[in-house]
Structure 1
Amino acid sequence: MKMIFALCLSVLAAKNLVAQTLPKQTVKGVITDKSTHFPLPGAAVSIPALGKGAATNEKGEFRLADVPVGRHNIQVNMMGYEPVMLQMVEVNAGKETVLEIPLTETVITLKGAEVTVKRGEGPVSPLALASARQLNIEEGMRYAGTRNDPARMAQNFAGVSGANDGRNDIIIRGNSPAGVLWRAEGVDIPNPNHFSTFGATGGPVTILNTNTLRTSSFLTGAFPADYGNALAGAFDLRLRNGNKDRYEMLAQVGFNGFEAAVEGPIGKPGGASFLVDYRYSLIAAVHALGLSVGTGATVPKYQDLTMKINLPTKRAGTFGVFAMGGLSNIHFIPGEDSTDLYNSGKYEVLTTSNTGVAGLTHSFNFSPKTYGRAFAAISAAESKMDNFENKDEIRGKRRMDLDYSLIRTSFGYRLDHKFNARNQLSVGASGEKMQLDMRNRRIKDGDDDLSEMVNASNGAWLGKGWMNWQHRAGNDFTFNAGVYGQYFGLNDGFVAEPRLNMKYDLSKKQSLTLGLGLHSQLQQLEVYYNETGGSLTNKDLAPTRAMHAVLGYDQLLGERLRFKAETYYQHIYDAPVERAPSSFSLLNYGADFGFPDKPNLFNNGTGRNYGLELTLEKFLHKGFYFLFTQSLFDSKYQGSDKTWRNTAFNAQYVTNFLIGREWTVKPGFSVGADSKVSVAGGQWYTPFNESATVEKGYVVYQEDKAYSLRNDMYFRWDLKFSFTWELGRTTQKFFIDLQNLTNRKNIYTRTIDTETGVVKQVNQIGLFPNVNYQFTF
C-alpha cells in the first residue's frame, strides 16, 4: 500500500507539467428517428453551459468545434420530437467525440405545455420497455473490478449475479448463464470469451473490446419479440464506426493485453470509415522474453481482433462489414502447487479454444417512415482438449480427448414501418445452418479404456420469425404486442410465443412497466447428437420453455437520482431430465466446465425463479456518482425424482454498492476514484461420497443430497484510482484497480483425492492489482 500511495503522489506531482491552456476537441454525430433510423435534418444540438450550438444538416449530422476537454451536458431539440439531454459526456483531446442520438416522435403536442427534457437513459432497443437498460461503455469503464469487460460491467446491474473471479458468466435471476443470448450487430454470436472451453459459458478474459463498442442494450427478462431462443436474457452489442473525417490511433497495455487500434476515413474524408483493433496476451508476451510472471509453466496465450468497415452510399443505403474473433490456448502442468481455479493439479491438460464471427450488413431507408436491414454472417467456435495422467513428471495414459467445432451460417432481414407517431409495425425473419463436428472420448467412471461418447458430423437448420405492433396511446403510454416463432429442422420442432410489454408514465417522474411472454431455448446442439448404441436418444428433445412475468416501478427522486424496483416470476417447464428418477436437470448446465453427456433425456423437468430487484442510482454530476443494487430471489428446480432443490445458481441475494468521484486538479489533468463492494449468497453444491469414491477409484457424489450444502457468502471490495492527462492533441489514461482489496478467500470449488478421500478447497483469486495505461492520438 505504501508503494501505491507513493505512486499516486508522484502522478499528482506531474500535473505541473500540464499546459495551462485547456485543449479543445470536436463533438459531432448524427440525430435519427428512434423507430426508423431516418436522419433528422434541422435538429438543434447545443451545449448550454458553453453557449455553443449547431443544427443538423440534410444527413442528420452536426458538428461542434473547439469544445474544451472535460464533461459537458449536450441537449437536442427538434419540433415534433421529445427533447433529450445527454449528461456528463466526456470530451478528450486525443479523440473526437462521436455521438449517435435517437429521438422519439411526440404523439401529442399541446400549446403552452411544459417541455420535459429526457435523459436518454433507456435501452437502445426501441421495443424493449421492461427489464431492460442500456450499457454505456464509458460509464462502465469507470467501475472498479470490471477489467474492461462488458460482461463484468453488466454484473453491477440488479438481477445479475457474478460472484466468480475466474469466469465472467452472466447469471440472470437464478437462470443458467447458458440461457443468455449474445448478439453483435444484429447477429446471434457464440460465447465471446477466450478459453471458452466445451461446457463453459464464460471465460476469464473477454474477446469483446470496450474500445470498439458503443452503447448497447442489456435485457434481463420478458424481452420483446425480436429476441428469441433464450431463457434468461439478452446482451445486444453494437460496434461503433470509425472516425470518417480523420485518422486516430490508440495504444494500450493492461490485464487484457497489449493493444493497438487505428481508425479513419476510407477515401475522401466524410464518407466511408474503418476501425481495426488488435490485442495480444500481456502474460504471454512477457513470458516470451524469458521473464517470470508468477504463473510458472502455465501461461495463458491469447490474441483477438475486432474490425468494422462502414460504407454509406448515395442511393443504396449503408453497407457494413464487421468481424471479431480470438485465439487462445493454455497448457496446464501438474504439480503439488498447481491446483487452481482451472485445474486440479493431478492431470496434464492441453486446451485450445478459438472463436470468431464475421458478417455483412445492409441498411436502407425506403422512406422517412420505413427502414430495412439485412445481414449475412458466419461464426465458428472450436475447442480442443487433451487430458493425460501424469506420474513422476512423465506423461501417462490419455484420459480424455475432445475435438469440437460448431460453424453457424446465418442470414436475416428486419423491416420497421411507422404508420404515424402512434403506430409502428416491425417484422423480421432469419435462417441459420448449424454444422457440428465433434469427437469426444473419455474414460468412463470405473473403466480403464477410452470410450467414444460422441462422434458426430451433422448439420441442422433453425428458422426464426417475429412480428411486433407498437402502439402509443399518448406520450405517456406505450404498448407492444408481438409473437416470436421458430422451427428446428432436426426434429421438426416448432414453437410460437406471444410477447407483451408496456410502459405507463404516472407523472413526469414516475412510470410503471409490465412484461409478459413465453420464451424457449433449444438445447445445445451436442446434446441432440449424444449417441448410445449407435442411436441419437436425445434427438427428439423439445426446447426448454418458460413463462416470464415482470412488474416494474421507476421514479426520479431528483434531477439526477433514480429509484427502480422490479418484481418477477418465471415458470420453467419442459426442461430435459433423466428418465430414471434422479436429481439431474439441464437447468444446471453451465455451473461447471464439464459437459453433462447424458443419454435418453426427456422434457419432464420444471423450475421456478422469483424475486425482487432494487436500484438506486445517482448519475454523474459535479464529479460524484453512485450505484446501489439489491437482488433478492429464489431459484428452484425439479429433476425426474420430483424433488424441489436449489439450482446451482441460487445465490438468493446479491448486493452491489459502487461509489465514485472525479476531480479536475488542473486544466487538462483529472483524477478519479471508484470503490465497489459486492456481497452474494454462497454457491450450493453436492457433497462427495468419500467412502464410495475411495472404494471405486473415481468421484462419487451423494446424489440424494444434490445442491443441499452451501459455501460461505461471497465478499469482495475493489478500489480503483484513475488519472487522465490531456496534452495537446493526445490523451493519456492510467488506472490501478485493486481487486479483492481485503484478500478474502472466497471459495471456488472443492476437489477430492480418489485414492485417499481427502477433500480440498480451491479458493478464488486473492488480492489482484490490475494496472492499465492508454494513449490516444
Structure 2
Amino acid sequence: MRKLIFLFVLVNSINTFAQTGVIRGTVLDKQSEKSIAGATIVLLSDPNKGTITDENGSFELKNVPLGRQTIQINYLGYESSTVPDIDLTAGKDFVISVYLIEKFDSLEEVVIVAEGNNKAKSINKLAAVSVRQFSPEEVNRYAGGRSDVARLASNFAGVSTSDDSRNDIVVRGNSPTGLLWRLEGIPIPSPNHFSTLGTTGSPVSALNPNLLSNSDFITSAFPAEYGNAIGGVFDLSLRKGNNKDYEYSVGVAAFPGAEVMAEGPLGKKGGSFLVAGRYGIVGVLGLAGTTAQPNYNDFSFNIDLGKSKWGNFSIFGIFGNSNIDLIGKDVELSNDDLFATRDEDSFVTSGFGVFGIKHTLDIGSKSYLKTVISSSTSVETFERDRYFNLETPTEFKIRWTEVDNTESRITFSTLFNSKISKKFTFRSGLLLESFTLENRLTDRDRQEDNNGDDLPDFVNLISNDGSYSIVQPYATGQFRFTEKLTLNAGLHGQYFSLNEEFVIEPRTSLTYAINNKSSINIGYGLHHQNVAAPLLFLNETIGDNLVQSNRNLDLVRSAHYVIGYDLRFANKWRTKFEIYYQAIDKAAVEKTPTGYSSLTEGADFGFSIDKNSLVSNGEGFNQGVEFTLEKFFSKGYNLLFTTSLFESKFKGSDNIERDSPFNNGYVINFLAGKEFIIGKAKKNVFSINTKFTTAGGRYYTPVDLPASIEAGYEIRDDSNAFSEQYDPYLRVDIKFGFKLNSSKKKSSHQFYVDFQNVTNNSNVFTRDYNRLTQEVNQIDQIGFQPDFGYRFQF
C-alpha cells in the first residue's frame, strides 16, 4: 500500500501539457450493414468539433482531448445515436463502428436517441432476447478477470462458474459442452490452452482480448443462424488494425503472459494488419495452483486486404500451444495440488489452430454476401504413469493411460443479408463442417486383470480414424410491424452424418416497446446438439470385436422459452428481468436403470470411459429467474449487479429426478469501478475496481469409501448420484490501476495490481478418494492470489 501511495504522489507530480487523440470509425445502416455517407459526427464536450462521413462511411475526429469522451451521430431519416464512454489514450487511436436504424416513419418529428454502445443491445440485429454485448475494454477492466472473455461472461445473469481452476461456462444450468464458440461467423474448437476433446473450457484462455471487437454472448433462444448448441453462444469478432497509423504495444501480466502487438496500414486500398503474440509466465511466478511448470503461448492475427471491385478480403487466425509435466513426487503427501497426484507422473500437451479467409461482396445498395472458408485443428496428448509400492524398495511404475487425439475441421460458411425495406430485413445462409478424427485412448483405469499379472489390463477404449459432417442451412427475417413491435423469426436445419438425422428448428422472438424507456421481449427456440465425441466413439467389446456402440445416438434436443422486461429508468441506468424454462430430451443414458446422463458430462478434462451401449432416452430441464441492474460507465464510475435463481434437474434411465451437477441454485455478482482523474493536466487516471461473487455449491456424487478401498481406485456411490452439495462459493477481488499518458510522445503506460480472493476464503475444489491415505480428502481452490499487468502503447 505504501508503494501505491508513493506512485500516486509521483503521478500527480508529473508536469504534463494537454495531449490529444483521434477518434475514427465507420457509420453503417443497422439492417443492411452498408456504409452511410454524409452522416455528421459531433464531439459533445465540444460541439464545435465535428466531421462528416465520406463516401465509404468513414470519419475521423482529430485533436480530441484525452480521457472519456462522447460523440453523437446524425443522418437524415435515421434515429440519432450517441456513443459514450470512449476511453481515449495517448499512443492509440480509438476506432469504432456505429450502426444507425432508419426511422420507421421518415416524416416523424420525434427525435429518438439510442446509445451506440449500449451493452443491452446485440451486435447481431436478429438477437433480441437473452443477449449481452461486451467489449474488450470490459474484459480488461473488471477485477479477477485474468483478461479472459469467458471469466468476464461469468458476471452476466444466467452464468455460473464457481471453479477458479477452469473457465468453463455454465449457462442456465446446462453443461459447458452445450456452449458454442464462434469466431468471425464460423464455429471453432475450444480457444483455450490445455483443452481436451469435447470440452469448451480450461485453466487458461488463448483468446487475446486486445484483438477482439465488441461481440455478443447469448444465453438462450438463439437466432436461426446459430446451431449445434443447447447452452449458450459466444459470437466473437476480430477488430481491424489501424489503417492510418502504425501502433505498437508491449505488455506483461501474470496469466496472459508477456505480449507484443503491432498494427498499421497495409496496401493502397485501405487495408490493415493486426498481429499479436503472447508467452505464458504464470508458472515462473508460482501462481498456477500446481507445483508443475505450465508452458503456453499463442499467436493471433487479422489482415484486412481492403476493398476492391471483387469485394473485401481478409485473413485471420489464432494458434496456441501448451504443455505441462506433472511429477507426482513433487507433490506433498497431503495431495493439495489441484492437478497433480502423489503416485502419478502425467505429461500433457495440447494445441489448436484456426485459419480463415473471409470475403464480403456488396450486392446492390442494400444487400451483401459474406463467405468464410476456414481450417481448424485441435490436438491433445496425455500420458500417465502410475507408481506402485511408492517409496519402498519394491517401488515400480507402469504406463497407466495414453491419449492421442487430433480433430481437424474444414468449414464453409456463406451468409446473404438484404434490407428489403425499412420494415423487413432478410438473412439466409449455409454452414458446412467436415470433421476428421484420429482418436486413441488406452487405459488401465477400472479394467479387469485378464492376463494374470496382478495389474489391470492396458485396454484400448477408443480407436477411431473416421470422419463425419454437419450441415446447417437457415433462413430468418426481421419484421418491424410498427415502431414499437418487432418480430424476428426463422428456421434452422441441422444434419448430422453419423446417425443421418436431420432436424428443423423454429426460432422466434417478439419485442414490444412499451415506451421509449421500457420493452417486453418474448423468445422461443428449438435447439439440437450431438453428444460429445469422446462418448460417441467409445469402444465396447462385443464377442471378439471392438464396437462403437454409441455412434448412432440421437441429437440431444432442448426447447427454450424466455420472457423478459427491460427498463432504462434513468440516464445510463438499465435494469432487466428474465424468466426462462428449457425442456431437454434425447440425452444419452444407460440401458439398465441407473442415474447416469450425458447431461452431467463436460465440467472436467475428461469424459466417462465406461458408458457403452447408451440410448437416447434421457430427460432434463432448466428453469429460473434473472435480474440485472447496470450503470454504464459515466461520471467516472460503473456498476453491475446480477443475480440468478435457478434449478437444473435431470433423469437417468432409472427415471429418478436428480439435481444436475451444475445446479448451484443461485449466483450473485456485484461489480463496481471508479476512475479518478489525476495529474496537473488532468489526463492521467487512477482506477479502483472490485467484484463480489457468491454462489451455491455444486452437487456431486459421494465416494463409496469401502468399495474404493477394496478396488484400489475411486468408486462413486452411483445409487446416490449428485445427492450431496459442496459448501457455497464466495470470493472478493479488488483491482487498482493507473493509466499514464505521456507528455512528450504519442504513448501511454497502463498497469494494475489485482488482489484476488482477498478474504482468502476456502472454496471447495473437490472431494476425492486418496489411494495413498485411503481416505476421502477435500482439496480447496486457490486462496488469496495477486495478479498484475503492465502495458506500454506507442
TM category, shorter: over 0.9
| CA separation of 1:463 and 1:179: change in aligned 2, threshold 3 A | same
Q: Which residue of 2 aligns with 1:35?
A: 31
C-alpha contact (below 8 Å) 1:198/1:595 kept by paired residues: no
Query: Post-superposition shift, 1:136?
Result: 1.6
C-alpha contact (below 8 Å) 2:32/2:425 kept by paired residues: no
Are residue 697 (structure 1) and residue 723 (structure 2) matched?
A: no
Distance (whole Å) between structure 1 residues aligned to residue 246 and residue 430 of structure 2: 37
Q: Which residue of 2 aligns with 1:460?
A: 468
Q: Percent of pairs identical after alignment? A: 37
SS, match of residue 693 in structure 1: helix
2:627 aligned to 614, 622, 640, which one?
A: 614
C-alpha contact (below 8 Å) 1:446/1:697 kept by paired residues: no
C-alpha contact (below 8 Å) 2:296/2:323 kept by paired residues: yes
Distance (whole Å) between structure 2 residues aligned to residue 477 and residue 699 of structure 1: 57
Q: Which residue of 2 aligns with 1:747?
A: 764
Query: Post-superposition shift, 1:404?
Result: 0.5
SS, match of residue 419 in structure 1: strand
User: Superposition pairs for residues 232-631 of structure 1, below 5 Å?
Assistant: 232-255=231-254, 256-268=256-268, 271-283=270-282, 286=284, 298-335=292-329, 336-337=331-332, 339-390=336-387, 391-392=390-391, 396-447=397-448, 448-533=456-541, 534-597=546-609, 598-631=611-644
* C-alpha distance after superposition, 1:182-227 (max 9, x if no partner): 0001110011110113464311110001110110000000011011
Distance (whole Å) between structure 2 residues aligned to residue 31 and residue 506 of structure 1: 28
Distance (whole Å) between structure 1 residues aligned to residue 222 and residue 160 of structure 2: 19
* C-alpha distance after superposition, 1:87-130 (max 9, x if no partner): 11100111111111112222223443243344541111111000
Between 234-243 and 659-668, the greater mean CA deviation after superposition: 659-668
| CA separation of 1:296 and 1:601: change in aligned 2, threshold 3 A | closer
1:63 aligned to 60, 63, 87, which one?
A: 60
Between 405-414 and 394-403, the greater mean CA deviation after superposition: 394-403
SS, match of residue 201 in structure 1: coil
User: One-letter code of the match for 1:760?
Assistant: N
User: Superposition pairs for residues 9-88 of structure 1, below 5 Å?
Assistant: 9-51=5-47, 52-88=49-85
C-alpha contact (below 8 Å) 1:25/1:93 kept by paired residues: yes
> Which blocks of at least 5 consecutive residues in structure 2 are unaligned?
449-455
Distance (whole Å) between structure 1 residues aligned to residue 654 and residue 771 of structure 2: 28
* C-alpha distance after superposition, 1:325-381 (max 9, x if no partner): 210000001134253222233311101110111100001111221111001001111
C-alpha contact (below 8 Å) 1:369/1:419 kept by paired residues: yes
Between 750-759 and 32-41, the greater mean CA deviation after superposition: 750-759
User: Superposition pairs for residues 148-187 of structure 1, below 5 Å?
Assistant: 148-187=147-186
Distance (whole Å) between structure 2 residues aligned to residue 117 and residue 525 of structure 1: 44
Quote the RMSD (CA, aligned, Å). Answer: 1.6
Query: Post-superposition shift, 1:528?
Result: 2.3
C-alpha contact (below 8 Å) 1:405/1:436 kept by paired residues: yes
Q: Which residue of 1 aligns with 2:793?
A: 776
Distance (whole Å) between structure 1 residues aligned to residue 409 and residue 698 of structure 2: 34
SS, match of residue 113 in structure 2: coil
User: One-letter code of the match for 1:431?
Assistant: L
* C-alpha distance after superposition, 1:625-651 (max 9, x if no partner): 110001000000000000000111000
SS, match of residue 328 in structure 2: coil
Aligned residues: 767
Distance (whole Å) between structure 2 residues aligned to residue 535 and residue 624 of structure 1: 60
Distance (whole Å) between structure 2 residues aligned to residue 49 and residue 296 of structure 1: 51
Between 762-771 and 438-447, the greater mean CA deviation after superposition: 438-447
* C-alpha distance after superposition, 1:576-595 (max 9, x if no partner): 00111111101011123221
C-alpha contact (below 8 Å) 1:361/1:376 kept by paired residues: yes
Distance (whole Å) between structure 1 residues aligned to residue 589 and residue 15 of structure 2: 67
SS, match of residue 570 in structure 2: coil
C-alpha contact (below 8 Å) 1:623/1:661 kept by paired residues: yes
Query: Post-superposition shift, 1:17?
Result: 4.9
User: One-letter code of the match for 1:299?
Assistant: Q
Distance (whole Å) between structure 2 residues aligned to residue 115 and residue 412 of structure 1: 36
User: One-letter code of the match for 1:692?
Assistant: A
Distance (whole Å) between structure 1 residues aligned to residue 221 and residue 289 of structure 2: 43
Query: Post-superposition shift, 1:267?
Result: 2.8
C-alpha contact (below 8 Å) 1:694/1:756 kept by paired residues: no
Distance (whole Å) between structure 2 residues aligned to residue 428 and residue 596 of structure 1: 36
1:712 aligned to 717, 727, 731, which one?
A: 727
Query: Post-superposition shift, 1:395?
Result: 6.7
SS, match of residue 308 in structure 2: coil
C-alpha contact (below 8 Å) 1:688/1:701 kept by paired residues: yes
Report the TM-score, using the length of structure 1 for normalisation: 0.97
| CA separation of 1:664 and 1:12: change in aligned 2, threshold 3 A | same
Q: Which residue of 2 aligns with 1:94?
A: 91
Distance (whole Å) between structure 2 residues aligned to residue 746 and residue 658 of structure 1: 20
Distance (whole Å) between structure 1 residues aligned to residue 225 and residue 343 of structure 2: 47
Q: Which residue of 2 aligns with 1:664?
A: 677
User: One-letter code of the match for 1:599?
Assistant: N
User: One-letter code of the match for 2:430?
Assistant: A
Query: Post-superposition shift, 1:751?
Result: 1.8
| CA separation of 1:236 and 1:117: change in aligned 2, threshold 3 A | closer
Between 18-27 and 639-648, the greater mean CA deviation after superposition: 18-27
Query: Post-superposition shift, 1:36?
Result: 2.0
Distance (whole Å) between structure 1 residues aligned to residue 61 and residue 422 of structure 2: 30
User: Superposition pairs for residues 176-255 of structure 1, below 5 Å?
Assistant: 176-198=175-197, 200-255=199-254
Distance (whole Å) between structure 2 residues aligned to residue 342 and residue 33 of structure 1: 50
Distance (whole Å) between structure 2 residues aligned to residue 646 and residue 14 of structure 1: 55
User: One-letter code of the match for 2:30?
Assistant: K
Q: Which residue of 1 aligns with 2:453?
A: none
C-alpha contact (below 8 Å) 1:18/1:668 kept by paired residues: no
User: One-letter code of the match for 1:346?
Assistant: D
Distance (whole Å) between structure 2 residues aligned to residue 91 and residue 110 of structure 1: 37
Query: Post-superposition shift, 1:689?
Result: 0.8
| CA separation of 1:480 and 1:297: change in aligned 2, threshold 3 A | closer
* C-alpha distance after superposition, 1:523-566 (max 9, x if no partner): 12332222223222112111100110000000011011111000
C-alpha contact (below 8 Å) 1:691/1:757 kept by paired residues: no
Between 565-574 and 339-348, the greater mean CA deviation after superposition: 339-348
| CA separation of 1:580 and 1:567: change in aligned 2, threshold 3 A | same
SS, match of residue 382 in structure 2: strand
User: One-letter code of the match for 2:439?
Assistant: M
Report the TM-score, using the length of structure 2 for normalisation: 0.95
Q: Which residue of 2 aligns with 1:764?
A: 781
